Structure 1
Amino acid sequence: MTKINTKSFLFKFALLSISMLLMAAPNIAAAIPLMSKTFTGQSASAIETISTIPNLGIIAGIFISSILVNFLGQKKTVIFGLIVALIFGITPVFSNNYYVVIISRLLLGVGIGLFNSLAISMISDFYGGDELSTMMGFQSSVSSLGSSILSFLVGYLIAFGWHATFIIYAIALPIMIIFGVVIPNVENKSVKHEKSVHQKVNLPVILISVMTFFIYAFFMVVTVKLADLLTYKNMGTGSQAATILGVFTLVSMAIGFVYGFIHKLLKQYTLVVGFSLMAVGFAILSRAASIANVTIGVVIVGLGFALVIPFIYTIINTIAPKGSENLASSVMLIFTNVGVFISPTLINYLSGLMGSQQPDMNMRVAAYGFGFLLLIAIFTLIYQKVVQGGKYFVRKG
């Protein structure tokens, strides 16, 4: 069998390319106002669901993937997911029927879900140690890069109508080609182990997954509510909010590329620093009085997010029982997508308890949320240092 050159740029590019679609589902949100003019018989919440319903499909796809991979293998499962994402991603280009659009969006999510966990777990199959941390940083950057590129494309295509914005999902075709050509159809050590060992999750995997749920539930405030914040405080427009969010993704991407170096420097304190930055960033947003303040707040949130996510993705594969890395990634991603989907409801509920559901209060709730997660991270470090003798996230089970 030909030896795999996992250190080549082409191999890494092909392996990471599927991550470009992981954050692509909500990229068409800017077209929602135009869709409301077409789907006049639907409520505002029903039309907004077009943007969020792929997350439910992703959850279903993750479940299906964990079964399908045993029959097709990892490579064919990824390719099948890309085919599904391609077909149903572009379906709304050709339809004015609300139900066709909403069902195709759900199935787009299923397609993305089929390779969502594999985009993470396959990295740990080919890399380890510091190189794994570096690759996870790259994975986060590529995911942000994909979101940024597609957002800019939507900004251009929206001039031709909301149907045209769904053309962005055609990017699945070149990704499918390069992944299919470069990534070998091999049975690596992780897959072999999965066939001989019943996959399971342990308590650390569950706890990290629950934490990921809250990370995304609080984080999505900046994506969903930024335009509302600018208009509510008369600081800017939705278009300016989109530009600022574009800066956010570029910052996250840049940090992701140097994440390996940062992780070597911060080690177990990476999560503490990340949560601190996100809490500060959201606090600035909650009190922002100008576009400059908003931009600074968003950039700081982006810095923290770029540290937290690759750290979480690396740790989940480290603490999972041997041979259960794919299942652990799947469980975490299910919690992630539930967090994304439920974020508006949860944040509005918590904001209401604090006396207001306005966007500045939403930002304050997110700041408090990351402050709470920061305390948990600090207490965890103290516990591991005092009780476990400094051992940090050791694989068990």
Structure 2
Amino acid sequence: MTAPSVAIAIPLMEKTFTEQTSAQVEMISTLPNLGVLLMIMFSTLIAHKFGIKRTIMGGLIMYLVGGLTPVFITNYTIIIIARFIMGLGIGLFNPFAVSLMYRFYKKQELADMLGYQNTSQNLGNAGFGLLLGVLVLAGWKTAFAGYLIAMIPLLMFGLFVKIPIEHRAGENKKAPKQSTNVHVFMLAFLMLIIFGMFMMMTIKLASFVTAQHITTPAIASSILAGMGAASMFASMPFGKISKFLGNFILPIALLGISIGFMIVATATSVLVVTLGVIICGIFFGWVFPQAFYRAAQIAPANSGNLSTSIILVGINLGAFLSPTLVNGVANLFGNDQPYFVLMLCSWGFAILTIIMAVYTIVDKRNHKLNQKPEEI
């Protein structure tokens, strides 16, 4: 979650890299996403050859080296290469941030841990953003020093985490062959659409409040921070909520997000905008953990890493393509104003709500017919 946070230093970097365009400087922030997408699908194969722990440790080292290089180097090309390497490192360990839980936890305990994982993810993102906000006061190079935080998981994971049932070199047993199915790809496509639309709240809110003469972009930034906090707290009790709502938690979450977007799109005051954004954050806090909990249900046996990778590709691709896809649809309606784009996303989430509610009802009925009494 930390790779794009360095965008806070872009105005300062533009003063240093005067020969580069604004888009080229902005690429310093966004390029890691390309590395993540390229490496995610190979992380499982690499882990089979070198072991999961070595793969994660290697990814963290690449993250650390790529993240810290701009602290010591001012050459634009080298920094771009370093950021790409950083993205490759994230792509190596990112799938295991979720799929390892499939090895350690099962059933309700897994649902609880996926909620805690999403909580820690949002907390880390918010905390790192605050850290960069302080470091950037000393210059853009100092801001990149924030990536020293990689030393924490590098040391703690390396020293204390033992991965169960890891097949190491020299063992006679072969690691189970991983496979996937159409349900995993459908879930990944669903996440692409959800994240593609949801990102528009982050992208358009500042423009919306400015165009509607509600408040300033700075206040909009603070409101978005509140959305992250709401998502963090909402994901804490995910396990208990999931136990009560089952797979209906996703259509309920999509309905809540739709309502939040509609409130923001029709808002005329800061208070109403904040209310809508917080509602979006609360219900979005259930989407990420539910995606991976659902993956654990539908993926073939012993295929957690591959399934997680496919879903992460969908999520990252959705976030990456968000402006292109949503603005493209808005242009088809002949209206690209921020309020209309947000309303369009509200309609999109409402349609997804209906589709997922019907699918969940049908799936639950089929599950009852096909399931053995002792299965869950």
TM-score calculated relative to the size of structure 1: 0.87
Specify every segment of 5 or more residues in structure 2 that has no aligned partner in the other structure, as ranges.
Answer: 372-376
Is 1:365–2:344 an aligned residue pair? yes
Partner of 1:11: none
Partner of 1:35: 13
Retained in 1: the 8 A contact 2:31–2:84?
yes
Q: Which of 161, 166, 174 is 1:183 aligned to? A: 161
Provide the identity percentage: 36
Q: Deviation string for 1:51-93 (max 9, x for gaps)?
A: 2221111112212311210122111111111111011012222
Partner of 2:195: 216
| Aligned 1:288-327 pairs, distance under 5 A | 288-327=267-306
Change (3 A) 1:233 1:162: farther
Q: Letter of the aligned partner of 1:231 in structure 2? A: T
Retained in 1: the 8 A contact 2:46–2:55?
yes
Specify every segment of 5 or more residues in structure 1 that has no aligned partner in the other structure, as ranges.
Answer: 1-22, 393-397
Q: Which of 180, 190, 193 is 1:201 aligned to? A: 180
TM-score calculated relative to the size of structure 2: 0.91
Report how many residues are paired: 368
* TM-fit CA distance, 1:338: 1.1
Indicate the larger mover: 250-259 or 207-216: 250-259
Distance in 1 of aligned mates of 2:9 and 2:369: 50
| Aligned 1:225-240 pairs, distance under 5 A | 225-240=204-219
* TM-fit CA distance, 1:341: 1.0
Is 1:383–2:362 an aligned residue pair? yes
Change (3 A) 1:369 1:49: farther
Change (3 A) 1:247 1:32: same
Distance in 2 of aligned mates of 1:186 and 1:197: 14
Q: Letter of the aligned partner of 1:300 in structure 2? A: I
Retained in 2: the 8 A contact 1:123–1:135?
yes
Retained in 1: the 8 A contact 2:295–2:307?
yes
Q: Which of 215, 221, 243 is 1:242 aligned to? A: 221
Q: Secondary structure at the match of 1:53?
A: helix
| Aligned 1:49-64 pairs, distance under 5 A | 49-64=27-42
Is 1:153–2:131 an aligned residue pair? yes
* TM-fit CA distance, 1:340: 1.2
Distance in 2 of aligned mates of 1:290 and 1:367: 19
Q: Which of 151, 164, 172 is 2:142 aligned to? A: 164
Distance in 2 of aligned mates of 1:363 and 1:33: 27
Partner of 1:47: 25
* TM-fit CA distance, 1:259: 1.0
Retained in 2: the 8 A contact 1:255–1:303?
yes
| Aligned 1:331-350 pairs, distance under 5 A | 331-350=310-329
Q: Which of 88, 97, 104 is 2:66 aligned to? A: 88
Q: Deviation string for 1:288-315 (max 9, x for gaps)?
A: 2222122111111111111111111111
Retained in 2: the 8 A contact 1:56–1:337?
no
Retained in 1: the 8 A contact 2:115–2:239?
yes
Distance in 2 of aligned mates of 1:353 and 1:33: 33
Q: Which of 54, 65, 82 is 2:43 aligned to? A: 65
Retained in 2: the 8 A contact 1:384–1:391?
no
Distance in 2 of aligned mates of 1:195 and 1:223: 45
Q: Which of 131, 142, 151 is 1:173 aligned to? A: 151
Retained in 1: the 8 A contact 2:120–2:232?
yes
Partner of 2:2: 24
Distance in 1 of aligned mates of 2:119 and 2:257: 18
Distance in 1 of aligned mates of 2:211 and 2:25: 22
Retained in 1: the 8 A contact 2:9–2:136?
yes
Partner of 2:53: 75
Change (3 A) 1:43 1:361: farther
Is 1:97–2:75 an aligned residue pair? yes
Distance in 2 of aligned mates of 1:391 and 1:105: 48
Q: Secondary structure at the match of 1:187?
A: coil
Distance in 2 of aligned mates of 1:320 and 1:148: 31
